């Protein structure tokens, strides 16, 4: 599959792009700003855009899917081009749902402590010998080596 991520630099979006890349999909993306650790992690895999900004010419009819991050506005030129071409477009929560719909899920939400609680749950699952994958917006050395 060929997937383009609009607003690639977010903490979740860049992890989704990396996961798609590791699964063998052809991944492209754009953003008007990309901060660390997203910048380094995307660069290591050759996914960091050469130039920051929005480029409708990156949206072509051969894309299989366009994933839109929360940072992208409704008037984003890449989104408008994808809509004009009639490409399959989904938000990143829709993308997560589609990739996890047949899995048993544990969702940890709230204002504070999500990463800490997630790490604790993952530690317990590891100690129990359970196979699992995860999606977390933080890059931490203490997290297992599996991914979304």
The answer to whether the peptide bond before residue 37 is cis (omega within 30 degrees of 0) is yes
pLDDT of the residue at 11: 87
145: phi then psi, degrees, rounded to nearest 5: -85, 0
Structural domain containing residue 145: 103-148
Q: What is the pLDDT of residue 106?
A: 87
* Domain co-membership, 94 together with 139: no
State whether 131 and 93 are in the same domain: no
Residue 90 and residue 120 in one domain: no
Total structural domains within the chain: 2
CATH of the domain at 79: 3.40.50.720
**Residues counted in the chain:** 148
Tell whether 120 and 69 lie within a shared domain.
no
Same domain as 36, residue 18: yes
Q: Please check whether residues 11 and 69 belong to one and the same domain.
A: yes
pLDDT, tens digit only, all 148 positions of the chain: 999 999 999 988 999 999 999 999 999 999 999 999 999 999 999 999 999 999 999 999 999 999 999 999 999 999 999 999 999 999 999 999 998 899 988 889 888 988 889 889 999 999 999 988 888 766 556 555 544 4
């Amino acid at each position: 599959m060929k997937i383009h991520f609009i607003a690639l630099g977010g903490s979740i979006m860049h992890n989704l792009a990396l996961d798609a890349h590791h699964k063998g999909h052809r991944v492209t993306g754009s953003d008007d700003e990309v901060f660390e650790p997203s910048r380094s992690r995307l660069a290591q895999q050759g996914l960091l855009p050469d130039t920051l900004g929005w480029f409708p010419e990156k949206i072509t009819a051969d894309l299989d899917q366009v994933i839109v991050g929360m940072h992208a506005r409704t008037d984003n030129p890449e989104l408008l081009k994808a809509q004009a071409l009639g490409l399959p477009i989904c938000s990143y929560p829709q993308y997560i749902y589609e990739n996890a719909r047949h899995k048993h899920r544990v969702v940890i939400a709230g204002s504070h402590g999500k990463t800490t609680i997630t790490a604790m749950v993952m530690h317990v699952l590891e100690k129990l010998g359970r196979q699992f994958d995860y999606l977390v917006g933080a890059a931490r050395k203490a997290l297992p080596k599996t991914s979304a």
